[in-house]
Amino acid sequence: MVAEHTVKAFDEDITRLRGMVAEMGGLAELSIAQAMDALVSGDERLAAGVIARDRRIDQLEGEVDRLAVRVLALRAPMAEDLREVLAALKIAGVIERIGDYAKNIAKRVGHIEGHKRFEPLTLLPMMNELAGDMVHDVLTAYAARDPVAAADIVQRDAKVDAFYDSVFRNFVSYMVENPATISSVAQLMFVARNIERIGDQATNIAEVVHYAATGTYLPDREDVMPPSGSS
């Protein structure tokens, strides 16, 4: 009877962990989209909402951290169960960084001169959508414990990286041809770099999802998570 209660309590803790990670992910997805909307429209109120939301994401990460540590200390999970707890802990940290990148983008709002007529700005929404879709899909893979979907997301990061390289070249050319825009384009370079990092973080989550589900690393990604014992 005690063992049954212990198992039930562990299952409840895991459900809470996954629920908090899912909430963090949903908030981060919203922030990614709204940060770009605010940048394109120059909507400083919308940007302020993204910045404020980051505090809730940070708060949730702290809650995940505390619960995960408690589960590790009290339940002493092994193998698959241990990977599950470590995955929630690591993914929460990655989502917190994604929230920071979205916040960074929101902070550029108001620093782009004549944004509605600014040609370089038109290059960023599609790149942002690619990275945002990666985040959405990897969180879906996490919820479904789907290592195949996770592995596919890792491959998609190359497209975001290529987009970033193309955008960077375009920005440099634009600044050379229009020296008066250097300050504004520099802000957009910062935005593009943050979008690229969002794609990288989605890839990091995908690697953790794959390891948590299978106990095996993706090729060349053996630094994703610490060993959890036998799989």
What phi and psi values does residue 3 have, to the nearest 5 degrees? -60, -40
Q: How many CA atoms, within 13 angstroms, populate the side-chain half-sphere of residue 144? A: 12
Number of domains in the chain: 1
Residue 57 lies in a domain: yes
Quote the Cα angle for 140-145-93, to 5°.
70
Average pLDDT on 160-176 reads: 96
Tens of pLDDT along 50-108?
999 999 999 999 999 999 999 999 888 888 889 999 999 999 999 999 999 999 999 99
Closest of 119, 116, 17, 123 to residue 68, by C-alpha: 17
Residue 146 lies in a domain: yes
Residue 80 lies in a domain: yes
What phi and psi values does residue 38 have, to the nearest 5 degrees? -65, -40
Query: What are the start-end ranges of the E strands in the chain?
Result: none
Residue 222 lies in a domain: no
CATH of the domain at 161: 1.20.58.220
Residue 45 lies in a domain: yes
> Whole-structure pTM over 0.85, yes or no?
yes
**Owning domain of residue 181:** 2-214
Residue 226 lies in a domain: no
